[in-house]
Amino acid sequence: MKYVVWFSEISRDDIPIAGGKGANLGEMTQLGLPVPPGFVVTADTYWEFITRTGLKDAIFKILRETNVDDTDQLERNAKRIQDLILNTRIPTDIEMHIVEAYRKLCNEVGGGKPVYVAVRSSATAEDLPEASFAGQQETYLDVIGEEEVVKNVQRCWASLFTPRAIFYREKQGFPHEKVKLAAVVQKMVESEVSGVMFTASPTGDTSKIIIEAAYGLGEVVVGGKVTPDTYVIDKESLKIISKNIAKQTWKIARAPGGKGTARYEIPEELQDKQKLPDDKIIELAKLGLKTERHYGHPQDMEWAYENGKLYIVQSRAITTLKLKEKVEKEREEEIKGEVLTRGLPASPGIATGPVKIVLSLDELDKVQDGDILVTTMTNPDMVPAMKRAAAIVTDEGGMTCHAAIVSRELGIPAVVGTGNITKLVKDGDIITVDATKGIIYKGEVKIEKEAELDLSELPKTKTKIYLNLGVPDMAEKYAKLPVDGVGLMREEFIIATYIKKHPLKAIEEGKAEEWVDKLAEGIAKVCKTFYPRPVVLRFSDFKTNEYRDLEGGEKYEPEENNPMLGWRGCSRYYSPQYEPAFRLELKAVKKVRDSGLDNLWVMLPFVRKQEEVRKILEIMKEEGLERGEKFKVWIMAEVPSVALLAEEFAELVDGFSIGSNDLTQLVLGVDRDSDMLGRMGLFDEKDPAVKRAISMIIHGARKKGKTVSLCGQAPSNYPEFARFLVEQGITSISVNPDAVAKVKKVVAEAEKELGMEN
Ligand code: PEP
Ligand code: MG
């Protein structure tokens, strides 16, 4: 067996010994690309190490005894295995193979002096060479010296046993013994200039190459932290067609002393200069062309320029997401039109039409088919007019406000939170709404629509994909989508569009039965259309301000200073004023289920305390609705108390659905309806604190063996967010109809990378 192989000795067929990453570097080296030199400590070396030291039996014994659904036990045992690997001395002869290879590398590129290297995990799986294990690819940068290199190879080996890696192998039914780990040891490039290269224009135009370049290490370009130079090259003539030089005031480079990185100011005279000279641009484009031809697909490559020499650090097929970002950037540059204002892109799509301003409810009839509804803020009574509109534009509101959510369910383009649209236009003005970007143009402007994904070609996913759907009229249209059911049916939408009357008024008028029948009818419509797929009905989550406009609402909805934090969701159901109305909601559910539609499950919104759940379950029982094999009761996880006490809440119910809209509002203390905070970017589901809370909920639920879903806007607005949810182990994701295809694709890709595919 070979303990160590050099990049020049391997190719893409060598995944079994070098892992995916190692084999790819080998292939690129074979192709003649200037890959920073290095070697791979083979998967066999790892195997030899755990066999000769007797660790193998100990490791697999611990794994056999681990129940991966018990998070504490999983974490404890993963740590035990990692400690075993890290604290066991590598047999001297094996160690010497690694040390000798490193010395050789130092001789070749450092003139005998120790050189900085990156040590990267490169996992492999017997019999399944194509399996990808991206979840466990640990990388250690800025490693120097023989001892450190050996130590970091050992750390890579240990990284095969992180709790997450164990969990996914187990979940996928992948025998642990079949997965091995190679370690790549590669010279670090200390680049003066670096960047990315796409060998096809993101619009799908394969005749162009796009290069982006910035000073310093590549992470600023890849991470989008600075605006790079952009060079466009014609593939056939290899001529530079355009250059866009961006000002760069700071960069990232190796920190003094060599460990880690630091931020440096760029001297003023260099800030506006072209980062990469023309001849190097052409040289790079040629390398890109060569790589694309070799692999047969357009490539997304990372490159670095050090001491006058170009290196190719990474090359992979262009992913759809990267493409999309670039398409959007280019689209915006190409569109010629006078921008009136901008807002938040709440519901995607493009429309042109005459403006109809609606400032009070009696103006609703003005809105005819094809008009653009312009208003300060929508409310539930406007839904019939919203349905007729070609697009909706509002002054107020954030990405998760009423107008945003309803427009997406109705499939109507909407831009919210412009701050001023009602002041900028008058009835009859023609405007064009690009709700995919959140831009309003004066007059008619031609904007190309994004190509839609082909639903028939969507991959299957293990993570269930549900739909957010509360407007029953839309059920038939969306039932054809490849979804596993309805993950969020907001009951208050049915009440506002179907019944329009406040339940307490119906009781007062002696018309409670009629009210129940109407609600049951709306719910049944969705359940029937989706049968046998589950439909999760969320009991009403009235906010006093939004729903005062229901018939009779003023009498029953108190004026509150902070309705978002007020008498909403669960707190109503057991309070004496609303309990009789809650019982009507329950009667409607019972009626639908008794009619044979047993795919109806329920969910409690805005849960603050465990005690509330207990009380409500009791009331439900009195109305003949008890949790069971065929009747699931979930709670929404949207108040941070549920994240902090996830395990305790899990004891009470069958599952959770994370409401990222309210959770973000409450973790960050940002009013989700505020257009100002929204435009400032403060309402951000991707904030690490929000993600931490989400992760706590998922882990708490899983630990207790409960289902955990997410039904807020986050993955619909940012399909990449779904990747994070899959990594955390979510069971299902519920999204808006227009987001199904994109989210499904991202989920499938993430599952593949995590080795979770079917
Ligand atoms: C949420 O808070 O994320 C949610 C889905 O509920 P709503 O948007 O109706 O408050
Ligand atoms: Mg909510």
What is the number of residues in the chain?
A: 758
pLDDT in tens, 303-357: 999 999 999 988 887 755 445 555 555 555 566 688 999 999 999 999 999 999 9
- C-beta of residue 459 within 8 angstroms of C-beta of residue 349: no
pLDDT in tens, 578-593: 999 999 999 999 999 9
Split at pLDDT 50, 70, 90, the class of 456 is low
Q: Is 659 near ligand 1, meaning CB less than 6 Å away?
A: yes
Under DSSP, the state recorded for 756 is -
How remote is the CA of residue 569 from the centroid of ligand 2, in Å? 9
Contacts of 473 (CB under 8 A, 6+ apart): 497
Q: Whose CA is nearest to atom 10 of ligand 1?
A: 662
User: Which residues, by Cβ under 5 Å, contact ligand 2, an ion?
Assistant: 638, 659, 662
* Highest mean pLDDT pick, 122-126, 202-206, 261-265: 261-265
Segment 150-174 mean pLDDT: 86
Q: Is 712 near ligand 1, meaning CB less than 6 Å away?
A: yes
Nearest to 298 by CA among 379, 202, 387: 202
User: How, if at all, do strands 250-254 and 439-442 pair?
Assistant: unpaired
Q: Is 661 near ligand 1, meaning CB less than 6 Å away?
A: yes
Ligand 1 atom nearest the C-alpha of 605 is: 6
Could you give the angle at which helices 721-728 and 688-703 cross, rounded to 10 degrees?
30
Pick from 542, 662, 708, 736 the residue to mutate for probing ligand 1's pocket: most ligand atoms within 8 Å of its CB: 662
Gap between the Cα atoms of 488 and 739, Å rounded: 14
- C-beta of residue 402 within 8 angstroms of C-beta of residue 546: yes
Nearest to 273 by CA among 248, 308, 252: 248
How remote is the CA of residue 507 from the centroid of ligand 1, in Å? 27
Q: Is 402 near ligand 1, meaning CB less than 6 Å away?
A: no
The catalytically annotated residue of 402, 502, 527, 699 is: 402
Contacts of 204 (CB under 8 A, 6+ apart): none
Segment 649-659 mean pLDDT: 97
Under DSSP, the state recorded for 496 is I
Ligand 1 atom nearest the C-alpha of 659 is: 3
Residue 451 has pLDDT above 90, yes or no: no
Ligand 1 atom nearest the C-alpha of 661 is: 3
- C-beta of residue 209 within 8 angstroms of C-beta of residue 288: yes
pTM score over 0.75: no
Q: Whose CA is nearest to atom 4 of ligand 1?
A: 659
pLDDT in tens, 114-155: 999 999 988 876 444 334 444 456 778 889 999 999 999 999
How remote is the CA of residue 539 from the centroid of ligand 2, in Å? 11
Helices (H) and strands (E) in the chain, counts: 31, 29
Identify the structural domains of the chain with CATH numbers, from first to last: 4-187 (3.30.1490.20), 193-317 (3.30.470.20), 335-454 (3.50.30.10), 463-627 (3.20.20.60), 632-758 (3.20.20.60)
Helix (H, G, I), strand (E, B) or coil at 657: strand
Segment 545-571 mean pLDDT: 92
Gap between the Cα atoms of 518 and 472, Å rounded: 12
Higher-pLDDT residue of 736 and 321 is 736
pLDDT of residue 85: 97
Gap between the Cα atoms of 225 and 310, Å rounded: 22
Q: Is 541 near ligand 1, meaning CB less than 6 Å away?
A: yes
pLDDT in tens, 674-721: 988 988 889 999 999 999 999 999 999 999 999 999 999 999 989 889
Rounded CA Rg of the chain: 29
pLDDT of residue 36: 96
Residue 207 has pLDDT above 70, yes or no: yes
The DSSP H or E segment spanning 204 is none
Task: State both tokens at 71.
Answer: 């998070």
Segment 432-437 mean pLDDT: 93
pLDDT of residue 123: 82
Q: Is 409 near ligand 1, meaning CB less than 6 Å away?
A: no
Share of the chain above pLDDT 90, in %: 66
Q: Is 201 near ligand 1, meaning CB less than 6 Å away?
A: no
Pick from 541, 685, 735 the residue to mutate for probing ligand 1's pocket: most ligand atoms within 8 Å of its CB: 541
Gap between the Cα atoms of 293 and 261, Å rounded: 35
Segment 466-473 mean pLDDT: 92
Residue 644 has pLDDT above 60, yes or no: yes
Nearest to 622 by CA among 677, 579, 673, 662: 579
Residue 265 has pLDDT above 70, yes or no: yes
pLDDT of residue 64: 93
**Residue 711 is a catalytic residue:** yes
- C-beta of residue 544 within 8 angstroms of C-beta of residue 566: yes
Q: Whose CA is nearest to atom 1 of ligand 1?
A: 659
Q: Is 711 near ligand 1, meaning CB less than 6 Å away?
A: yes
Residue 757 has pLDDT above 70, yes or no: no
pLDDT of residue 369: 94
pLDDT of residue 131: 42
Segment 100-115 mean pLDDT: 95
Segment 151-177 mean pLDDT: 85
pLDDT of residue 752: 83
In one letter, which amino acid is 148? E
Helix (H, G, I), strand (E, B) or coil at 628: strand
The DSSP H or E segment spanning 190 is none
Gap between the Cα atoms of 556 and 361, Å rounded: 20
Gap between the Cα atoms of 394 and 602, Å rounded: 32
Residue 469 has pLDDT above 60, yes or no: yes
